[in-house]
């Protein structure tokens, strides 16, 4: 009970601090294409263009998110306590981490939201799923194992924070976040056929959401994902 209370306090302190930080540093534009489920577990899966994506999505999304993140983040006692207090699930990227999958499945069945980046790392340009690139099988596998739907999302603009000048108080770069409709598991499909269906459906939705954001907010090529090196070199 005490541990749960401490986690709750820790989560609120960190997220409120992040909210204040980005309230001054960014101009967030948010688009919900459908109301996200208020109850029940589901997988929130988005593209990944910068290290700033998890905090920006966390302070924007209306429900708490238990992120899946690389185990390297948990190195040392302080970082282990910090990320564990935020309910982050460590995953070993060297292979299929069954322990992380079991933890995620259990939390989904408990009605929690699991956040995951299907690309497995930061991607831009042709390597990004918003441009039709391939992805790792983790999202479809997790959905198939848990029976939980996948809610696709897109984030654009967060890569501008790699440029130190973007943190100047008068810059406040725009960040666009959009969330689609949950992808439910179809009846009658199992195994490889189910995972293939989910992966293809998710890939289509991600591209469609990105195109909707581009059209809705009048984005240009300069607003789409760039590498950290390109963003740092911008004037």
Element (H, E) at 118: none
Q: What is the structure's pLDDT at 95?
A: 63
d(CA 44, CA 116): 6
Tell me if 144 sits within 8 A of 185, measured CB to CB. yes
Q: What is the structure's pLDDT at 107?
A: 98
pTM of structure: 0.96
Q: What is the structure's pLDDT at 96?
A: 64
Q: What is the structure's pLDDT at 235?
A: 86
Residue position matching structure tokens 């967060």: 158
Tell me if 191 sits within 8 A of 32, measured CB to CB. no
Neighbours of 199 (CB within 10 A): 21
Identify the CATH number of the domain defined by range 2-233: 3.40.1130.10
Q: Are strands 174-179 and 150-156 parallel, antiparallel or unpaired?
A: antiparallel
Does residue 194 sit in helix, strand or coil? helix
Q: What is the structure's pLDDT at 154?
A: 98
Residues of the chain with pLDDT under 70: 95-96
């Amino acid at each position: 009970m005490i541990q749960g209370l401490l986690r709750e306090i820790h989560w609120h302190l960190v997220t409120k601090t992040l909210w204040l930080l980005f309230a001054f540093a960014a101009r967030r534009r948010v688009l919900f294409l459908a109301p996200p489920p208020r109850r029940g577990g589901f997988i929130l899966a988005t593209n990944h263009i910068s290290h700033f994506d998890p905090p920006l999505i966390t302070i924007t999304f209306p429900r708490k998110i238990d992120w899946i993140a690389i185990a390297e983040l948990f190195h040392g006692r302080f970082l282990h306590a910090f990320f564990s207090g935020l309910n982050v699930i460590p995953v070993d990227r060297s292979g299929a981490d069954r322990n992380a999958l079991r933890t995620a499945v259990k939390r989904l069945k408990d009605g929690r939201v699991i956040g995951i980046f299907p690309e497995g790392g930061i991607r831009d340009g042709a390597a990004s799923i918003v441009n039709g690139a391939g992805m790792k099988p983790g999202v479809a596998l997790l959905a198939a194992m848990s029976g939980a739907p996948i809610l696709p999302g897109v984030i654009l603009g967060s890569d501008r924070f790699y440029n130190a000048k973007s943190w100047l108080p008068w810059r406040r770069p725009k960040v666009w976040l959009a969330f689609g409709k949950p992808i439910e598991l179809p009846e009658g499909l199992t195994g490889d056929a189910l995972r293939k269906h989910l992966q293809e459906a998710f890939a289509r939705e991600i591209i469609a959401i990105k195109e909707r954001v581009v059209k809705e907010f009048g984005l240009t090529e300069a607003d789409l994902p760039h590498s950290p090196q390109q963003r740092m070199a911008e004037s």
